[in-house]
Amino acid sequence: MIIDDVVQEHKEKATAGQRFLASLIDGIIQIVLSIIPLIGWFFGLAYYFTKDSLPFLNGQSFGKKAMNIRVVKADTQDPITGNIGTNVLRQVSLAIPIFDLIDALMVFSESQQRFGDRWANTIVVKDPK
């Protein structure tokens, strides 16, 4: 299935601005979690790598919920809820210094997919709900 077909069923891809604000919100949450004494760094890191696949958030990070966007598999259009492996694969590209900046700028490309999205075969769309 071509990515454009997926987008038509979901109506619209998330904008770069929506993705940035969602990332900013999630970054603030990660920082707050990380400052908890002794084990905060663990919770911050765990949130970073699993935020879009957490079942109790219905497959959206807090930032994505606030911006009304979600990550879906490009081939099945299913949210990545509970699919921690896919979410970790999406996040790895952002964890590599210098590469993360290039990766983040990929949302301005024609496909609007970061390298992490391409590796995990995902797209970020406006949530139809």
Q: Is residue 29 part of a domain?
A: yes
List, for the chain, all residue ranges whose pLDDT scores fall below the cut of 50.
Answer: 1-8
pLDDT for 101: 85
For residue 88, give every residue at least 6 positions away whose Cβ sits within 8 Å of its Cβ, in sequence order, or none: 49, 50
d(CA 65, CA 63): 5
Task: Tell whether 54 is covered by a domain.
Answer: yes
Structural domain range at position 110: 3-124
| d(C-alpha 53, C-alpha 96), whole Å | 21
Whole-number pLDDT of residue 49: 93
pLDDT, residue 11, reads 66
Q: Residue 57 has what pLDDT?
A: 86
> How much is the pLDDT for 62?
95
The pLDDT value recorded for residue 1 is 41
Tokens representing 34?
Answer: 């990380």
Residue 3: predicted pLDDT: 46
| Long-range residue pairs from 85-90, CB within 8 A, at least 24 positions apart, any chain | 86/53, 86/120, 86/122, 87/49, 87/50, 87/51, 87/52, 87/53, 87/120, 88/49, 88/50, 89/116, 89/119, 89/120, 90/52, 90/114, 90/116, 90/117, 90/119, 90/120, 90/122
SS3 63: helix
> Which pLDDT does position 9 carry in this prediction?
55
Split into its structural domains, the chain has a count of: 1
Write down the residue that tokens 């970073």 correspond to: 48
**Would you say residue 106 lies in a domain?**
yes
Q: What is the pLDDT of residue 103?
A: 86
Structural domain includes residue 66: yes
For residue 129, tell me if it sits in a domain: no
Name the residue type at position 123.
Answer: I
Domain membership of residue 46 (yes or no) is yes
